Amino acid sequence: MTRQLLNFNDWSDRVADRMMRYFPRRKLDVRLEQPVVSFTFDDVPHSAVRSGATLLERYNARGTFYIAGGLQDKMQGEMRMFSPADVQYLARAGHEVACHSFSHRKMSKLSREILERDLARNKAYLDGLAPQEGRLRNFAYPYNAPQWRARTLLADRFSSCRGGGNQINRGRVNRDFLYGVEIGGADAKFSTLSSYIEDVARNPGWLIFFTHDVDDNPSPYGCTRDLFEKLVAYAAEKSCRILPVRDAMALLQGQNRE
């Protein structure tokens, strides 16, 4: 891919990001007396289940796992991805099984017709392993990259959609492009990430963390077991409610109807 094309794609993603932030289709009023923290996992390597889920359970908490069915049993570098048994375990243990598309392709590369088929395929995949009746699943954009033209399609299919942005959700936010804070990369340090927990504890809102693998030797997109557990413990110490996105949305939607 040429440098010019890379620059164009980066510019296009930034424009879509701005459009989603400033022109929401659905808004969510995030006003909380007690701070809420959600720990979420994209792609779901096996270590996210083996370590991430079990560490949350140690604190009587549950997480949200955004699964792309097309990644099942695959290897991404050194990481082994989730298995069908992993998905079934998450559902039995009370964690949230959410959608990350099936193909895990950037949505701006897909036509509406292809995207509709892709989402339907992932719904069938998830429903087969972790049936969920009576409510819509939640969604996270592959690569945190939205598609402006798909916002109505997604709003009809999902309770919420999450991106990145490294901010806390407060006040009137875009329900179809919730802010997420990454636990990964060069900033995967307790001193940096704990500041978000301190912030949300002082001024309550909804902090959504996202990561990928949770391993003693993590990928650039994941974090260590030690860091992850420290963050969960710190959120509990600061009297934050640790909820999956599913339960945080139910809480906020109930308040929005009052």
Higher pLDDT, 58 or 2: 58
> Across residues 118-125, what is the average pLDDT?
98
Task: Give me the number of domains the chain comprises.
Answer: 1
Average pLDDT, rounded, for the chain? 93
Q: Strand 171-174 vs strand 27-30: parallel, antiparallel, or unpaired?
A: antiparallel
Those residues whose C-beta lies under 8 Å from the C-beta of residue 50, and which sit 6 or more positions away, are none
Q: What is the pLDDT of residue 8?
A: 43
The CATH number of the domain where 214 resides is what? 3.20.20.370
Residue 78 has what pLDDT?
85
The percent of residues above 90 in pLDDT, for the chain, comes to 81
Q: Report percent pLDDT > 70 for the chain.
A: 94
Pair 212, 219: CB distance under 8 Å: yes
User: Which structural domain range is residue 179 located in?
Assistant: 3-257
User: pTM for the full model?
Assistant: 0.94
Predicted local distance difference test score (pLDDT) of residue 4: 47
187 has pLDDT over 90: no
